[in-house]
Amino acid sequence: MLGKIKRKFQEVTDSHKEVAPTVVHKKNHIPFRLNFLFFIVFGLFVALLIQLAYLQLANGQFFNTKIKWDQKTTIKGNAPRGQIYDRNGKVLVENTSKQAVLYTKPKNMSGEKLLETAKKITEIISIDADNVTDRDKKDYWLADPDHLKEAQGRLKKSEKVDAKGNFLSNDVVYQNTLDKVTEAEIDYSKDEEKVISVFKRISGAQEMTPVYVKTDDVTTEEVARVGESMGDIPGLSAGVDWERSYPEDEFLGTILGRVSTEKNGLPAEERNRYVANGYAVNDRVGLSYIEKYYETALKGTKSNLEMKLTEDGQRVESTVEKYPGEKGKNVVLTIEQEFQEKIEDILYRNYGQLMNSGKTQYSEGIYAVVMNPKTGEINALAGINHDLDSGKLSMDALGTINKSFTPGSVVKPATIMAGWRNGVISGNEVLVDEPIQIMGDAVKESVFTNGKSREMTAVEALKDSSNVYMMKIAFKLMGETYSKNMVLGDHTDVFATLRNNYQDFGLGTSTGIDVAGESFGLSTKDYYQPNGTLIQGRMGNLLDLSYGNFDTYTPIQLAQYVSTIANNGVKLAPRIVKGLYSNDPDGKLGGMELATKPKVMAHVGSQDQYDIIHEGMYQVVNEGGSGMWMDGTKYTASAKTGTAEVPKDNPNDPDNPIELYNSTMIAYAPSDDPKVSVSLVIPHISDEADKMNSQVTKEILDAYYDYFEK
């Protein structure tokens, strides 16, 4: 047994000897690697010395120049805006210069330094507190580093980092800091609010971009003190500002447009677009109408001043004018002031007669547009607004493009054209004018038939103003044949058929006029109940639409429409600007640089169709038609009358609304070769028995003849 144990122990021992590791001593290579690394470092160091020597010897002048260039900056100065003139060169909008105090914020200006600067400025010039808000006061309070530190100490951890422990953005943290400022801490005096007002102006300015600190009532003494303080207050200077003025008072009113102030600068809703086009945030821009539409021409080109700054960027060592800037282009209108005022006098006098006869209790005024149908040039945009509370009358040229009215029968030529273009009638087709009775709707009929039936052509339908002829076209567009007490199904698609045709003439859509802000009118597109069923009476409204008693249009749309008819279907965009003009050496009106040209927007219908429409509109005036009261004009004229029923709710008798009418007219002359077209709207009068629409239109055409033909 002992022998077996010994043999086993010997086997285990032998097996361990077989697997024991063999230790091999290798040569140590660490000293060689270190030597190699030292060699590489030495080589890089030598290369760096060589590069530094090269930069110093070969490019030293370049870097010296670059350092000096970094101490220079370019400042853009405001340029005067172009002026607006009437067709004969009479100034309507000009610039009035005045003394001003400016501040150009140096580079890298801290809030603390701006605070100190604001205090110094208010010590040398008189400042009014300018709409200082609580936010302005808090910004001012936090401009003091000690105050900022104090307010930041009030922040909770959640107001500095988010739930994941990430730091919030600086803007968010600052907003949270603002919330920590108490009411007591911003309880400033009136004098302190003046400092805040200046601080708000200069802290919000872009670096090296001048802003106006004071523009109104700057005295010579203040200008002198500013000059004396320029060394102590870097960036402060005296200069000149301008503001828009209107030598002809309210001529054409607000349609000329308005310009933002330097304090308000760019309108917030369009700021990004303007900045992308090179504007500064405090630049003045056209806000409305002509001033806005022609902004790029009127704005002028800014001057460029190159300033050399001290090394700290805080002071100006020298100034060199690189470009003097250029005043904006001048805008000359197609309208002559004298003729415009003649049309306004006609409207004022005739509307006064309506007022004296007690017919204007609910009427908003009277509006007319005079236009050249072959060029699109506008000769007059005239409106009289009637204040229903005070009874006061005021000029309202703007109302011709932004007020819309139900037009009545003046749309009938366009409805006939819709019938032709959609193939439901042809030529001078005969249709029966008869009372129309739809199930569940009131009887609709033409005024002149007295409830009887009569066959009539398209020409006669225009001459006598047949409502039923137009409704019969609408029936055909629906694919229906009229029968008494019939039920009309859902044909709401025909609303679009008629409206698309009207829009081709300019009704219910943009006319393309070169004035920003025109209205397109109103058109109801609400046809169904919430449960999907057709609203009761909507198909009756479709019939109303066919003869102008549903949608609303502006006077300028009506003018484009009648001009398209006069021009045999060539639709031109109305234009109020004749051209852009340069400035002479004295800054006055120079020569034409760019003439506005007629802009063709569409071609509508064919010549044989217009021959029929022209004949019908000629007979309206000259052969005993609905506009016979216009007969006797100095031109041979063609026209279409319109009357829209526009009842008003009666608070004293809800079951009996107040009957009111829109009295309208479209006309052109001479009939055989039109030179002038007119649209007229007299809204919400109690009756039109005196045919004031014909009388006023006649006077307007005669005034045009006397002014332009004699």
Q: Which residue numbers are catalytic?
A: 409
Q: What DSSP element (H or E) covers 679?
A: strand 676-685
Which phi and psi angles does 102 have, rounded to 5°?
Answer: -120, 160
For residue 347 the two structure tokens come to 């409207």
Which phi and psi angles does 618 have, rounded to 5°?
Answer: -65, -45
525 contact partners, CB below 8 Å, separation of at least 6: 495
Q: Quote the radius of gyration of the chain (alpha carbons, Å).
A: 40
Q: Cα(first)–Cα(last) distance of the chain, in Å? A: 154
Q: How far is CA 690 from CA 319, 365, 486, 700, in A?
A: 73, 17, 37, 17
Q: 3-state SS string over 29-76? A: CHHHHHHHHHHHHHHHHHHHHHHHHHHHHHCHHHHHHHHHHHCEEEEE
The sign of the dihedral angle between the CA atoms of 618, 619, 623, 626 is: negative
How far is it, in rounded angstroms, from Cα 159 to Cα 265?
A: 33
Beta strands in 278-420 (DSSP E): 303-309, 316-323, 330-333, 365-371, 378-386, 393-395
Q: What DSSP element (H or E) covers 603?
A: strand 600-603
DSSP string, 335-354: --HHHHHHHHHHHHHHHHHH
Position of tokens 């090394």? 311
Nearest CA-CA partner of 154 in 177, 172, 138: 177
Contact predicate 354/660, CB 8 Å: no
Nearest CA-CA partner of 563 in 610, 518, 597: 610
In a 3-state reduction of DSSP, which class is residue 415? helix
Nearest CA-CA partner of 548 in 681, 415, 656: 415
Nearest CA-CA partner of 317 in 106, 22, 30: 106
Which phi and psi angles does 293 have, rounded to 5°?
Answer: -60, -40
- CB neighbours of residue 87 within 10 Å: 17
For residue 302 the two structure tokens come to 């800014």
How far is it, in rounded angstroms, from Cα 558 to Cα 664?
A: 10
446 contact partners, CB below 8 Å, separation of at least 6: 433, 464, 465, 466, 467, 468, 469
DSSP string, 122-176: HHHS-----S--HHHHHHHHHTSHHHHHHHHTT--GGGTB-TTSPBPPHHHHHHH
Q: How far is CA 703 from CA 634, 635, 640, in A?
A: 9, 11, 19
Position of tokens 């004031």? 692
- Any idea how long the chain is? 710
Amino acid symbol at 663: S
Which phi and psi angles does 445 have, rounded to 5°?
Answer: -155, 170
Nearest CA-CA partner of 502 in 407, 637, 365, 624: 407
For residue 663 the two structure tokens come to 């009295």
How far is it, in rounded angstroms, from Cα 689 to Cα 148?
A: 76
Separation of CA 445 from chain center: 43
Tell me which DSSP letter residue 83 carries: -
**Do you find a cis peptide bond into 657, omega within 30 degrees of 0?**
no
